C-alpha cells in the first residue's frame, strides 16, 4: 500500500494508556481521509510499553515501531521518526490520550496551503499548576522565537515531511517545531482542538522541566538560528 500520511507517537512509560491508545488509533484508521500508517517510538521505557508496542504492531497492519536502547528524550524520538518517514506529510500525537487522533481531521484540510498545522488546546483539561507552567513556558518561547503561537507545545501537529526532515537535532526539539518551519520560510497555522483529561498513567512534566528546561533550550535555539544554513538551488544539470 502507498501511504499518504504517517502518525508518529512517541512513548515513554505509558503502559496504562497504550491499550486505549491502540483502540483510538485503529478506529481512526477506519475513517482517516488519507491512507495512514502509524509509527510508535518507544523512548527507552522502563515499564512494559516496549513489549506492548511490539506485540501490537506485529499483529496489526499499518502499524510499525522503533524501540530505543535507552531513554534519549522526546526530541530524539521525534527526530528518529522524522528520519524514518517516507510519506509526504506526517503528524505526531502524544500517547497520553489528552489529544485524540480523530482531531487530525481538523488539521488536515489546511496542510496544502500551510507547511505546519498545529492544534491549539484553548480549553485545557490540566491541573492549575500545569496550565500556569505551560502558559509561562509558552510566553518565554515566544519572546525568543517570535512565532506567536498560542500553544507551541500542543502534542497534535501536522508537518510536510520535507520541512520536518530539515530540522536539525537538538534537545527540546518538540517545543520549537513552528519556529523551525518559519526558519525555512514555511507557513504555519493554529487550529483549535479539544483537550481531554488524562485517564491513566502520570504526567512526566512539572514546573522545573516545563520552565527551566525550556528556558535553557531557548538559548540553544537562538544560537542555532544564527548558525542555521538554508539554500535553494535555482538550476542544475542532470
pLDDT in tens, 72-128: 999 899 999 999 999 999 999 999 888 999 999 999 999 999 999 999 887 665 555
Please tell me the predicted confidence (pLDDT) of residue 10: 96
Is residue 100 a part of any domain in this protein?
A: yes
Q: 116 pairs with which residues across the strands?
A: 159, 188
Is residue 173 a part of any domain in this protein?
A: yes
Please tell me the predicted confidence (pLDDT) of residue 195: 76
| Residue among 140, 121, 137, 117 nearest 129 (CA) | 137
How many degrees, rounded to 5, is the angle at CA 139 between CA 226 and CA 117?
75
pLDDT in tens, 3-56: 999 999 999 999 999 999 999 999 999 999 999 999 999 999 999 999 999 999
Is residue 181 a part of any domain in this protein?
A: yes
Question: What is the CB neighbour count within 10 angstroms for residue 199?
Answer: 11
Question: What is the CB neighbour count within 10 angstroms for residue 109?
Answer: 11
| Residue among 78, 100, 74, 81 nearest 21 (CA) | 100
Rounded to an integer, the average pLDDT of 192-196 is 85
Please tell me the predicted confidence (pLDDT) of residue 186: 93
| Residue among 95, 94, 13 nearest 47 (CA) | 13
Average model confidence (pLDDT) for the chain? 84
Please tell me the predicted confidence (pLDDT) of residue 42: 97
Q: 66 pairs with which residues across the strands?
A: 41
Residue 212: pLDDT over 70: no
Q: Are 159 and 90 in contact (CB under 8 A)?
A: yes
Q: Are 164 and 154 in contact (CB under 8 A)?
A: no
Q: What is the total count of domains within the chain?
A: 1
Return the DSSP state at 84.
T
Please tell me the predicted confidence (pLDDT) of residue 182: 87
Residue 235: pLDDT over 60: yes
Residue 209: pLDDT over 60: no
Compute the distance between CA of residue 196 and CA of residue 96 in angstroms, rounded to an integer.
10
Please tell me the predicted confidence (pLDDT) of residue 83: 95
Written as one string, the DSSP assignment of 202-222 is: -----HIIIIIHHHHHHHHHH
Residue listed under C-alpha cell 485545557:
124
Tell which wins on pLDDT, 132 or 157.
Answer: 157
Please tell me the predicted confidence (pLDDT) of residue 170: 74
Q: Are 144 and 222 in contact (CB under 8 A)?
A: yes
Is residue 74 a part of any domain in this protein?
A: yes
- Positive or negative torsion for Cα 149, 154, 36, 12: positive
User: The domain containing residue 9 runs over which residues?
Assistant: 5-227
Please tell me the predicted confidence (pLDDT) of residue 69: 95
Tell which wins on pLDDT, 210 or 235.
Answer: 235
Model pTM? 0.80
Residue listed under C-alpha cell 488546546:
121
CATH number at residue 144: 3.90.550.10
pLDDT band at 180 (very low <50, low <70, confident <90, very high): confident
Residue listed under C-alpha cell 510508535:
40
Rounded to an integer, the average pLDDT of 157-186 is 87
Is residue 136 a part of any domain in this protein?
A: yes
Grouping H, G, I as helix, E, B as strand and the rest as coil, residue 77 is helix
Is residue 59 a part of any domain in this protein?
A: yes
Is residue 237 a part of any domain in this protein?
A: no
The three cell numbers locating residue 235: 538550476
* β-pairing verdict for 89-93 and 156-160: antiparallel
Please tell me the predicted confidence (pLDDT) of residue 68: 97
Burial of residue 34 (CB within 10 Å: 0-12, 13-18, 19+) is middle
Range name among 8-12, 56-60, 145-149, 224-228 with the lowest pLDDT average: 145-149
Is residue 232 a part of any domain in this protein?
A: no
Amino acid at each position: 500500500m502507498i501511504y499518504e500520511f504517517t502518525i508518529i507517537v512517541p512513548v515513554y512509560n505509558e503502559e496504562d494508556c497504550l491499550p486505549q491508545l491502540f483502540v483510538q488509533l485503529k478506529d481512526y484508521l477506519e475513517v482517516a481521509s488519507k491512507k495512514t500508517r502509524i509509527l510508535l517510538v518507544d523512548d527507552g521505557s522502563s515499564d512494559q510499553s516496549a513489549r506492548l508496542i511490539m506485540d501490537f504492531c506485529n499483529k496489526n497492519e499499518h502499524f510499525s515501531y522503533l524501540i530505543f536502547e535507552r531513554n534519549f528524550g522526546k526530541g530524539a524520538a521525534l527526530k528518529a521518526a522524522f528520519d524514518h518517514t517516507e510519506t509526504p506529510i506526517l503528524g505526531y500525537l502524544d500517547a497520553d490520550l489528552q489529544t485524540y487522533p480523530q482531531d487530525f481531521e481538523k488539521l488536515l484540510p489546511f496542510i496544502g496551503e500551510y507547511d505546519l498545522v498545529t492544534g491549539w488546546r484553548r480549553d485545557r483539561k490540566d491541573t492549575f499548576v500545569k496550565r500556569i507552567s505551560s502558559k509561562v513556558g509558552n510566553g518565554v518561547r515566544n519572546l525568543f522565537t517570535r512565532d506567536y503561537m498560542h500553544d507551541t507545545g500542543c502534542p497534535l501537529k501536522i508537518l510536510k515531511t520535507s520541512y520536518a526532515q530539515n530540522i536539525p537535532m537538538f534537545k527540546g526539539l518538540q517545543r520549537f517545531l513552528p519556529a523551525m518551519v518559519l526558519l525555512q520560510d514555511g507557513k504555519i497555522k493554529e487550529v483549535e482542538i479539544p483537550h481531554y483529561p488524562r485517564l491513566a498513567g502520570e504526567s512526566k512534566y512539572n514546573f522545573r522541566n516545563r520552565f527551566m528546561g525550556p528556558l535553557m533550550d531557548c538559548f540553544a535555539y537562538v544560537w542555532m538560528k544564527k548558525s542555521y544554513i538554508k539554500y535553494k538551488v535555482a538550476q542544475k544539470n542532470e
